[in-house]
Structure 1
Amino acid sequence: MCRVWVSTPPAIGHTGAVCGLLAYLTDSSAGVADGLVDAVSGASHLMRHRGPDEPGTWADDASSPTVVLGFNRLSIIDIAHSHQPLRWGPPESPDRYVLVFNGEIYNYLELREELTATHGAAFATDGDGEAIVAAFHHWGPAALNRLRGMFAFTLWDTVERELFCARDPFGIKPLYMATGAGGTVLASEKKCLLDLAPVAGIDLAIDERAVQHYTVLQYVPEPETLQRGVRRLESGCYARVRPGGQPEVTRYFTPRFDAVPFPARSTPGGEQARYDEITAVLEDSVAKHMRADVTVGAFLSGGIDSTAIAALAIRHNPNLITFTTGFEREGFSEVDVAVASAEAIGARHVTKVVSQAEFVAALPEIVWYLDEPVADPALVPLFFIAREARKHVKVVLSGEGADELFGGYTIYREPLSLKPFDRLPRQVRRSLGRASRPLPEGMRGKSLLHRGSLTLEERYYGNARSFSDDQLRSTLPNFRQEWTHTDVTGPLYATSDGWDPVARMQHVDLFTWLRGDILVKADKMTMANSLELRVPFLDPEVFAVASRLPFEQKITRTTTKYALRRALEPIVPAHVLNRPKLGFPVPIRHWLRAGELLDWSYATVAASQAGGLVDLAAVRRMLDEHRSGTADHSRRLWTVLIFMLWHQIFIEGSVVPEIREPHYPVQL
């Protein structure tokens, strides 16, 4: 027997939707336990913002084990008929598979055509969900490398009695998982697993190594979370889950940059063909990312990445609306440049200006949506612009991923500035590093000598380092020297041995900064406002082109993303073509010296019960020094303050955010 509880009558339909999914697999032999469906439904409701159009819960108790699926649908394709879970199977077993799917498959039309032609696959819908299931049935896990899109899904096989789960190659869409005495739970948001922890028997003890990793990196690196019993399925991985067992995880995609001698030289005359290839693959990616039955807009900062996406998108939607945000402080706004860019490409533009009071008031709600602390202040303006955009559109395009794929971070130029050190014997380099230690902080040359004394593996572990080891010791009572960044980056450097230094840095960032910070804030802040965000740069075909770029086509002594900038010359307005990267700058350093944010910070430290994990007296000293102007502790303060707020919400329960009930029309 199958039982279905949905808010509208269940029907076979298209499945193009971003949603919140929840799957609970138990090895119970007694069918659906009393109250289990209600428990799953209640947990699923915690992420109703991910899909306010259609909530529901489904249970299969045909035989043990029991599977219960929860979902919240944000309908994007075939709005009137798309319902989850999706049932599909071959003619001999038409209801064999049950799919709950979060994301979009942009090449689903091509996949359906191929599956019909080569395997005689039959489809009852016009959507992308059936393409996933049919591809899995005919090609197995190899189907994942054929999917061009963003996705996290669970697929219940009623014949094999196995749950198959997968996540997209770059980690655009999240998937948390936990196994306890009561079974295995998977969900789009961690808060659902926390809610089901008593039922599933999940260990929620704090993982102190993850706390230390967070404090250094300003995010919790995958697959960790701050609770020992909850982990994340990593990007580019799938898992098989059988009753009574742990998920068996397999990596199906590893991004590889072609090894190129450093510094290499391009083949004369071949540059323009390369730029044309970049342009063509980006045009194709944006065209496929525009597939939707609802209005698609675009985020627009003052940089080249978002401007390029918007300029390509307006070719498919002449009425494109673009969105940007800024702050009530001079020098911390991209608004003027974004307005000029929108005017240049012919887009209608919407701006949201955020005050310090709004910023502070939104912090508890934002951290609740995040599930895990992310100490990137840029996620706050992203939250506000997503809320503003949702008043006008249901889907937005954005420029995330361009820096990691094409070499956009200024730090990627470091191998050029440090190249003279490569000619020095190792012992001499170490001596220079020791000589730099007694030099005053901020003295010209101190940082260069220190970094030149280190190997790439020692000095680079992503875009964020908030604390030195000495600062960590004075801030974390349980600091452990062995819990270092090499836990995270060591295996990545081993994989990239022999690549040029920029490619190795890009590889590290794809597995750390991109999926730990950039994509987490992109997913969580837009989904908090029931808005789908699509990232055309993070497309397998775009990556295939970017991965072949030689060193000098990414980084020069004067610019970053060299090849991408050349490729985009005919597409983006001249005033942004060579503009330095800013994103959405946030005046944290200034606001932590006066006003509502400073007051909130002192109050947060005073009320915190996280003293066993963070030295509260040390944080107060940092606040005092920063307020007086004797030191700039803004990044370190923001890191520990966001952790304290997370602790108050999810551990202490002393802060209860006011969460809006999402009410949006089905179609925009």
Structure 2
Amino acid sequence: MCGFAGLLSSQSLSQPKNEFATVKTMNNMLVHRGPDDAGYFQDEYITMGFRRLSIIDLTAKGHQPMPYLNDRYLLTFNGEIYNYLELKKELKTEGYQFQGDSDSEVLLAAYAKYGVTVPQHLRGMFAFVIWDTEEKVLFAARDHFGIKPFYFATENDQFYYASEQKALYPILRERQFNHEALQDYMTFQYVPEPETLATSIHALEPGHYLIKRLGEKPRVQRYFNATFTPVQAKEDVLVKRLRKALIDSVKLHLRSDVPVGAFLSGGIDSSIIAAIANQYHPNLKTFSVGFERPGYSELSLAAETADHLGVENYQLTITPGEFMTTFPYFVWAMDDPLADPAAVPQFFLARLTRRYVTVALTGEGADELFAGYPIYHEPQSLRIFQKTQIINGALHWIATLMPAGMRGKSFLLRGTTPLEKRYVGDAFIFDEAQKAQFLKNYDLHHPAPQAVAKYYREVATADPLTKMQSIDLHTWLNGDLLRNADRTSMAFSLELRTPFLDRKVFQVASQIPSEMRIQGKTTKAILRKAAEGLVPVAVLKRPKLGFPVPIRHWLKDEMYDWARQIIITSPTDQFFRKAYFLKLLANHRRGKADYSRQLWTVLTFMTWYQQYVLTASEKERW
């Protein structure tokens, strides 16, 4: 895996040494993404920087920025093209020549042939930039699901880009804080793409490419839209297709010239990946983390699954002290704040894994593709309100009058509120009324549903389950899970691969009718059937466990003073009425309610603000 950074000027560089120094500074912020090699290219308009983590073609022929066709094209590329051998074979028959064995060179040749449609021919995870020295055009693209990141900013006549935002923050002179993004963060526990907490920095969204011509604004175009299109087919036929697609995807994801391992929890997703990988990769190593507190560890389940599969399993138990000590570096690694508590143990898991292997497989994406979250049962549980539509308005009014915490209030409110207004994704931290109480710059005209409205419009005629999956597929997946996967792994120079998020697997998953995704109380029903015979029966029947983290208990006990100190000392009074959070923490400690997710969201932002905004050289630039 790798990282890149660059600067494109619309005018011929007047001080190329300054631009080179700028890009070198940006590139040095990404050493963790590529500790094996550094490379640069500069001409009269562009300066390109690259950091390499060697995975395929360990020779110097994989060095980047990589030239092609007599130096017409220059490439910096972060990711893996899993079908590069097949593409290379096709391109050779058409006369394209290759000097090495890297997928980077294949990508360049494919661009020479296909131009802007090249992402549609790729199976893999990628973010890349190609500079055409003849046409003076920059082309960039991000993979179908957003596994690999890409950020860009325009300032005056200069276009900046990088694999991580932290490479852009020190460079931009005119940064403004994005208050709307903060408001969204307090709902989602992450900033929904393409926005960031800096108004000038944007994420290139999944399934999009970007074209930047000299003197013109960057043009962003979608090339892929992950859409569910169910078909009429027998279940056993779809099960066979799915099993075949999964096996093929895992085999492709195992292509590497360095050691490969796999994350292993006690759940079905990672177990499926490890089981298939073990068939084609002898002596597979697996890795798991957990906690000492009963009910918050899957280590025994992971060990049980590993024994059944006959694979090695390396384990780590995390203490609250280690959690607090590691937290600042975790926040720094995330770029914009990510308040998913499960991301922190994955940080430890990546560190453990990197001691033994350079590449690891993981199960991200299965819940979004096959309907794995418990909340996806909601359309069934609220079906009764379809019969009471005439009086739903009155029922909703009655629910608003019921005391907070009264049994049935939440059920009535959810049942009488349209899906488009109540569901913004798998995580929902603070509602609008709560945000209005503590946000000093709360904008009444920017409610959370605005961030997902465009995705609802695209699935207006779909059933409720499909709508919910689509929202999560376009927001939660890339905004939370894949950011978590990329940043936690790259913090330790570990390449993390996600076989479920393969376009061929999605092609099958998108065709599965909703009644085959959830059957009764069983989530991911068809995936469980496709995995029969691969993983233990006990694993197939297990409900979704998530990645349980005992912050509810820790914030009452071991972490209470730590959390209170962060809130009190945080210089964020311009944003918050901090008394609200101190009361929240006190009530949490007294056991009045579980406010751990809300508190974690606040603590994460405050720690981020201290690191990214209030460094000595940056205080005056927001």
The secondary structure found in structure 2 opposite 1:140 is helix
Shift of the 625–32 alpha-carbon distance from structure 1 to 2, 3 Å rule, reads same
Q: What is aligned with 1:621?
A: 583
Residue 53 (structure 1) aligned with residue 36 (structure 2) = yes
Q: What is aligned with 2:81?
A: 105
Deviations 1:572-623 (A, max 9, x none): 111210211123210011111111x222211111211111112211111111
- Which 5+ residue runs of structure 2 have no aligned equivalent? none
Are 2:39 and 2:63, in contact at CA under 8 Å, matched by a contact in 1?
Answer: no
Residue 337 (structure 1) aligned with residue 301 (structure 2) = yes
Q: What is aligned with 2:140?
A: 165
Q: What is aligned with 2:505?
A: 542
Are 1:302 and 1:583, in contact at CA under 8 Å, matched by a contact in 2?
Answer: no
Aligned partner (choices 85, 91, 98) of residue 65 of structure 2: 85
Shift of the 565–655 alpha-carbon distance from structure 1 to 2, 3 Å rule, reads farther
Deviations 1:211-254 (A, max 9, x none): 00000111000000000011111110000112333211000001
Residue 299 (structure 1) aligned with residue 263 (structure 2) = yes
> CA–CA distance in 2 between the matches of 1:557 and 1:272?
18
Q: What is aligned with 1:210?
A: 181
Q: What is aligned with 1:74?
A: 53
Aligned partner (choices 509, 513, 526) of residue 489 of structure 2: 526
| Aligned-residue RMSD, C-alpha | 1.5
> CA–CA distance in 1 between the matches of 2:487 and 2:615?
21
Aligned partner (choices 201, 207, 212) of residue 230 of structure 1: 201
Q: What is aligned with 1:611?
A: 573
In the alignment, residue 570 of structure 2 is paired with which amino acid? S
> CA–CA distance in 1 between the matches of 2:411 and 2:588?
25
The secondary structure found in structure 2 opposite 1:635 is helix
The secondary structure found in structure 1 opposite 2:172 is helix
Q: Pairwise mapping of residues 416-427 of structure 1 onto structure 2 (< 5 A)?
A: 416-425=380-389, 427=390
> CA–CA distance in 2 between the matches of 1:247 and 1:302?
45
- Which 5+ residue runs of structure 1 have no aligned equivalent? 1-17, 261-265, 657-668
> CA–CA distance in 2 between the matches of 1:441 and 1:534?
44
Q: Single out whichever of 290-299 and 414-423 deviates more from structure 2.
A: 414-423
> CA–CA distance in 1 between the matches of 2:112 and 2:464?
41
Deviations 1:334-374 (A, max 9, x none): 10000000111011000011110000011110111111001
> CA–CA distance in 1 between the matches of 2:353 and 2:280?
19
Q: Pairwise mapping of residues 224-373 of structure 1 onto structure 2 (< 5 A)?
A: 224-258=195-229, 270-373=234-337
Are 2:414 and 2:422, in contact at CA under 8 Å, matched by a contact in 1?
Answer: yes
Are 1:151 and 1:173, in contact at CA under 8 Å, matched by a contact in 2?
Answer: yes
> CA–CA distance in 1 between the matches of 2:30 and 2:157?
22
Per the TM alignment, residue 548 of structure 1 is displaced from its structure 2 partner at its CA by 0.3
> CA–CA distance in 1 between the matches of 2:22 and 2:301?
49
Deviations 1:149-188 (A, max 9, x none): 0000000000111110000010000001000015011100
Per the TM alignment, residue 485 of structure 1 is displaced from its structure 2 partner at its CA by 2.0
Q: Single out whichever of 582-591 and 443-452 deviates more from structure 2.
A: 443-452
Q: What is aligned with 1:666?
A: none
> CA–CA distance in 1 between the matches of 2:398 and 2:531?
45
Provide runs of 4+ in structure 1 moved above 4 Å: none
> CA–CA distance in 2 between the matches of 1:306 and 1:126?
30
Percent identical among aligned pairs is: 45
In the alignment, residue 444 of structure 2 is paired with which amino acid? Q
Q: Single out whichever of 297-306 and 479-488 deviates more from structure 2.
A: 479-488
The secondary structure found in structure 1 opposite 2:170 is helix
Per the TM alignment, residue 631 of structure 1 is displaced from its structure 2 partner at its CA by 2.6
Are 1:259 and 1:499, in contact at CA under 8 Å, matched by a contact in 2?
Answer: no
> CA–CA distance in 2 between the matches of 1:478 and 1:334?
42
Per the TM alignment, residue 31 of structure 1 is displaced from its structure 2 partner at its CA by 4.9
> CA–CA distance in 2 between the matches of 1:231 and 1:631?
37
The secondary structure found in structure 2 opposite 1:214 is helix
Are 1:328 and 1:356, in contact at CA under 8 Å, matched by a contact in 2?
Answer: no
Per the TM alignment, residue 28 of structure 1 is displaced from its structure 2 partner at its CA by 3.2
User: How many aligned residue pairs are there?
Assistant: 617
The secondary structure found in structure 2 opposite 1:195 is coil
Are 2:40 and 2:64, in contact at CA under 8 Å, matched by a contact in 1?
Answer: no
TM-score for the superposition, normalised by structure 1:
0.90
Deviations 1:533-556 (A, max 9, x none): 000000000000000000111012
